[in-house]
Amino acid sequence: MWKESAKQRKTMLSQLTPVQRRRFEKFEDGMSIAEIARSEKAAFNSVKESIESAQKKLTSLIFSRDTLNSGVPFSDFNRGRTKQHPFRKVR
């Protein structure tokens, strides 16, 4: 999933709150939102919103960095296609 080096990944994940990071990593490891909510004794919607916020923040970081590094706007990367989300979709 990540094409970034371990150092870049760690830097990007450090931009998340501790709760977002923990939940995002559990989700990426294959746990469902319901499983994460049960394990943390948290509300399902709180966990879902936390993961969605983390995905949005990381997506923003990835695309803004790519745009800055390449000098090409993101819209030119996808050539009119819809954005492909780099993370597993929250259901």
How confident is the chain (91 residues) per 10-residue block, as mean pLDDT?
A: 67 92 95 96 96 92 64 44 54 63
pTM above 0.75, yes or no: no
Tell the burial category of 76 from Cβ atoms under 10 Å away from its Cβ (0-12, 13-18, 19+).
Answer: exposed
CA 71 to chain centre: 23
| 8 A C-beta contact, residue 26 and residue 47 | no
